[in-house]
Amino acid sequence: MIGPYGPRDHPSPHAADPRVVTPRSFLLTPELGDYVRRCSEPPDDVVRDLLAETAALAERGEASPTFQIAPEQGTFMQVLTRALGARRAIEIGTFTGYSALCIARGLPADGSLLCLDVSAEWTAIARRYWDRAGVGDRVELRLGDAHESLRALPAEPTFDLAFVDADKTGYAAYVDALHPRMTENGVVLLDNTLADGTVLDPRTDNQRAIAELNVALAADPRWDTVLLPLSDGLTMLRRR
């Protein structure tokens, strides 16, 4: 998800689909953004249609386009899931299911992804595309407050990969709750950790929460931490 910090959205020639408007990194010019996408694995028909349906929601004012991760981030997450050999994953904040689709595609056939979200309406779209992509049987969706759902999880089995793209002021609590539930060397991904550049001069609660978390994680002995300048900032944590 990019935002809510004033994202830069532009039509994507990479998608070759006039229905699709996807988020762009504030770090890249539109031309460089297009180049990045042309030089990455292109989305298939399932992804194109999902991105188009999500864009239509935004056009009707039913959702914010900033809730959607960028295609190059989705591809990165799919590749990373495979590279890690992850078998069990968890996602906090699902929206219409694109990021979950990428993770699920990176899992083995007997892998599992637990998605925590609050919206039955948006995740109904997600379910359709998970099934269409043939990964619906790998995904379990739990609706409700993600903080409560996460606290209710048992200590075992643990997760190999986690992706957090939800309420920004809740990120620190999510990280704390995830730590004991991750495998040794398990990886947590946190989205929007550059907050459209506002981390340098945070003004809102969301911006301050992200800026403070970034500083805290850099010194947190529980994790190996790197903030990647991918899309709107993607922090990768490895449990020590």
State the maximum Cα–Cα separation within the chain, in Å, rounded to a whole number.
47
Q: What integer pLDDT is reported at residue 17 of this predicted model?
A: 64
Structural domains of the chain in order of their starting residue, each with its CATH number = 8-67 (no CATH), 71-239 (3.40.50.150)
3-state secondary structure (DSSP) of residue 139: strand
- Answer yes or no: are the C-beta atoms of 198 and 2 closer than 8 Å: no
> Do the Cβ atoms of 39 and 14 come closer than 8 Å?
no
Q: Where are the extended beta strands (E) located within the chain? A: 8-11, 21-24, 88-92, 112-117, 139-143, 159-164, 182-191, 223-228, 234-239
User: pLDDT per residue over 69-108, tens digit each?
Assistant: 999 999 999 999 999 999 999 999 999 999 999 999 999 9
Going 193 to 207 to 5 to 178, the CA torsion angle's sign is: positive
Number of neighbouring beta carbons within 10 Å of residue 70: 25
Calpha distance 210→225 (Å, rounded) = 14
pLDDT in tens, 34-83: 999 999 999 999 999 999 999 999 889 998 877 899 999 999 999 999 99
User: For position 19, what pLDDT does the model report?
Assistant: 63
Q: Is residue 21 predicted with pLDDT exceeding 80? A: no
